[in-house]
């Protein structure tokens, strides 16, 4: 296990579910991060899928001390640098490219890149990455696919994301090569828009109880 993988796992601290967040209003970032942290999900991934994403990262990272804020949907080195400058403690990408690997190699901030095919996984492994995002999990073959990978590629671990929900999270977490899962169900758009932070805290507390056996 590489030192950057160890650093990333230390940040996640055994958290079984990483909230994957699409924040439309930067003003929601602080109360949302606080609600998730109170529910036991301190590490969060704010995706760069909205115009206010970087400001949301900046606010959550700067104002919510108990939160560990990461950035997702990082597609290139510019995204990587902007997310780190905004305060991201870890970086998540849907895939892996040489440019992203170079940006990660030059940074102390750990990268969790996506890979789904055996070739992509082996390429990431050759680059020294042994903890990967498996995305889109359900569409790529889900639990059965990951289970099949666990024997030939035993030293690579995964965080499945994409189609993972409260209904199937336990199935993923039961696999020997899965460390955690990523999901958006702990912060549904309707609850965020309504500012129902108590309901989100309750969902987070339920998700934080999905510990690996």
Write out the chain in H/E/C secondary structure. CCHHHHHHHHHHCCCCEEEEECCCCHHHHHHHHHHHHHCCCCEEEEECCCCCHHHHHHHHHHHCCCCEEEEECCCCHHHHHHHHHHCCCEEECCCCCHHHHHHHHCCCCCEECECCCHHHHHHHHHCCCCEEEECCCCCCCHHHHHHHHCCCCCCCEEEEECCCCCCCHHHHHCCCCECCEEECCCCCHHHHHHCCHHHHHHHHHHHHCCCCC
Is 189 inside any structural domain? yes
Q: What is the pLDDT of residue 212?
A: 56
Which tens digits make up the pLDDT trace of 136-168? 999 999 999 999 999 999 999 999 999 999 999
Q: How many domains does the chain have?
A: 1
Catalytic residue among 45, 89, 157, 201: 45
45 in a structural domain: yes
Model confidence over 56-85: pLDDT tens digits? Answer: 999 999 999 999 999 999 999 999 999 999
Segments forming the whole domain that contains residue 60:
3-204
Structure confidence by residue, pLDDT tens digits, 90-112: 999 999 999 999 999 999 999 99
213 in a structural domain = no
The answer to whether residue 210 sits within a structural domain is no
**Residue 180 forms part of a structural domain:** yes
User: Tell me: the pLDDT tens digits for 3-34?
Assistant: 888 999 999 999 999 999 999 999 999 999 99
Does 1 have pLDDT greater than 90?
no
Q: Which residues pair with 132 in a beta bridge?
A: 158
| Nearest CA-CA partner of 178 in 150, 206, 151 | 150
Q: Which of 89, 133, 157, 201 is catalytic?
A: 133
**89 carries an active-site annotation:** no
pLDDT at position 118 is: 96
User: Is 63 noted as a catalytic residue in this protein?
Assistant: no
Residue 213 has pLDDT above 60, yes or no: no
Residue at 212 is within a domain: no
Kindly report the CATH number assigned to the domain that includes residue 151. Answer: 3.20.20.70
Note whether residue 211 is domain-resident. Answer: no
């Amino acid at each position: 296990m590489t030192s950057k993988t160890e650093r990333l796992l230390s940040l996640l601290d055994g958290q079984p579910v990483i909230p994957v967040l699409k924040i439309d209003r930067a003003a929601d970032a602080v109360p949302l991060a606080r609600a998730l942290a109170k529910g036991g999900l301190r590490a969060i991934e704010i995706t760069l899928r909205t115009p206010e994403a970087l400001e949301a990262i900046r606010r959550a990272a700067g104002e919510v001390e108990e939160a560990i804020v990461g950035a997702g949907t990082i597609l290139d080195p510019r995204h990587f640098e902007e997310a780190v400058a905004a305060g991201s403690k870890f970086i998540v990408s849907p895939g892996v490219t040489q440019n992203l690997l170079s940006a990660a190699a030059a940074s102390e901030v750990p990268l969790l890149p996506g890979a789904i095919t055996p070739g992509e996984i082996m390429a990431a492994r050759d680059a020294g990455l042994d903890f990967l995002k498996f995305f889109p999990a359900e569409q790529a073959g889900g639990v059965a696919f990951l289970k099949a990978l666990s024997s030939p590629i035993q030293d690579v671990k995964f965080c499945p994301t994409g189609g993972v929900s409260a209904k199937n999270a336990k199935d993923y977490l039961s696999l020997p090569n899965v460390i955690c899962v990523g999901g958006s169900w702990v912060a549904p758009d309707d609850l965020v828009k309504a500012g129902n932070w108590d309901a989100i805290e309750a969902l987070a507390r339920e998700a934080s109880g999905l510990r690996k056996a």
